[in-house]
Amino acid sequence: MFKNPKLLTLFFTMIVVMIGFGIIIPIMPFYVEHFGVGGTGLGLLMALFSTMQFIFSPFWGSLSDRYGRKKIMLIGAFGSGLSLILSGLAPTYWLLLAARALGGILSAATMPTAMAYVGDSTDERGRGAGMGLIGAAMGVGMVIGPGLGGWMSEISLAAPFFLAGGLGLLSMLPIWFILPESLPEARRTQGKVALHGPQLAVLWKALRGPLGFLLFLAFLVNFALANFESVFGLYASARYAYGPQQVGTIMMVIGIVSSLVQMVLTGPATHRFGERGVIKASLLFSVLGFVLMSLAEGPGIILLTVGFFVFSNAMLRPAIMSLTSKMARGGQGAALGMNNAYQSLGRVAGPLWAGMMFDLNINFPYWSAALIMLGTFGFALWSMRPLASPLQGEAAQVATAPGIGDE
């Protein structure tokens, strides 16, 4: 993958983008508290951002099928940078909400378009490794970003937002001047692209279509990861009396493991076992990972169990994206935009569920996620065979149904 100059440029561009996202993770709770808002306000802020991404990701994906990948990625990078700077300048909580909503709308253009770019630039054999490269960039950003955010917060709570916004704007430069367009004019879809409200009917139609199981998986994976991420700090504090430094160390390990797995192992694993084999194995190991985390005692065992959990999940998302891309050859931007929409929906529902379960019992988020993954593994065994033949036109038609794609 690193021999492909287009993907190499995209990889480093996405690292810059994801560092910007990672910077604000450790200081967001304190920043919201600065406005006199507690956990409910923080949850609303997270849910609003993800809800906007859920609604707008398919729209941006379809636009990239119509107008090319570069233009839409530039919109995403600019919108992300602008919204983060506005967040740092927000004088009230309600204006912060508005800035984060704007960020969700515009940054939704980045990920589905980057995934579609990988789909344009790789053959079927290299698709899994290419998607793993995007995941690795996310992991690298999540390793570097939180440390930078914690250091910048010593200057002021707004300073990390300005740094993150600056990085978002900086990422426009390689996209504009170095990254070549991956979708030639002859392969672009024709007609007008429109957004029709929340598009729930179209999303439901897609869920019942040829890509439905993969969209359901995209939702579940992000739901489960949100269960882990949203309450892990609370869980570590309540069970192990860990503070921010210990939790930050664990989050760094998570980023390192995720990056290494997605850069080094995802490609060979999908070549040897295929995306379907990787998906099934990852789901089963994820069940074990959730259970082990609820039983872990001691720093070394905690790091091992968290590392095992991240290892099992790191290949799952790229495998799902790769299979989605292969099955939607005629409209990859729209199909991967739909995938990103369901990922965002998981990031909306996951923290709400995890918080409710945590209030009942600190282990319930992990136990319930383990049961969900186990049920999904059983469903995968039953549902994967109908997906054995690549579907070209039909999958693209579902992904580009009216309201999501071209009219």
Q: Is 210 helix (H, G, I), strand (E, B) or coil?
A: coil
CA 103/CA 80 separation, integer angstroms: 5
Rounded Cα gap, residues 88 and 329, in angstroms: 41
The mean pLDDT of 130-141, rounded to a whole number, is 78
Cβ contacts of residue 237 below 8 Å, gap of 6+?
243, 247
What are the structure tokens assigned to 34, written together? Answer: 């600065």
Nearest CA-CA partner of 49 in 114, 105, 132: 105
* Residue with the larger pLDDT of the pair 144 and 242: 144
Q: Give the residue, 63 or 201, on which the prediction is more confident.
A: 63
Instruction: State the chain's mean pLDDT as an integer.
Output: 77
pTM for the predicted model, two decimal places: 0.67
pLDDT band at 139 (very low <50, low <70, confident <90, very high): confident
**pLDDT score, position 161:** 93
What single-letter amino acid sits at 391? L
Q: Taking the mean position of all CA atoms in its chain, how far away is CA 116?
A: 14
Mean pLDDT of 78-84: 94
DSSP summary character for residue 186 = G
pLDDT recorded at residue 397: 45
pLDDT by residue (tens digit) across 24-79? 876 776 777 788 776 567 777 877 888 888 788 878 888 888 888 999 999 999 99
Q: Is-contact 211 327, C-beta < 8 A? A: yes
102 band by pLDDT with thresholds 50, 70 and 90 = very high
pLDDT in tens, 335-351: 777 777 787 788 888 87
Q: What is the pLDDT of residue 195?
A: 55
Contact 215, 321 (CB under 8 A): no
pLDDT at position 83: 95
pLDDT of residue 97 exceeding 80: yes
Domains and CATH numbers, the chain: 5-187+195-399 (1.20.1250.20)
One-letter amino acid for residue 124 of the chain: E
pLDDT-wise least confident of 146-160, 315-329, 386-400: 386-400
Q: Is 32 helix (H, G, I), strand (E, B) or coil?
A: helix
Pair of tokens at residue 281: 């194995």
Q: Per-residue confidence at 405, pLDDT binned at 50, 70, 90?
A: very low
Q: Is the pLDDT of residue 119 over 70?
A: yes
Share of the chain above pLDDT 90, in %: 12
How far is it, in rounded angstroms, from Cα 394 to Cα 216?
Answer: 18
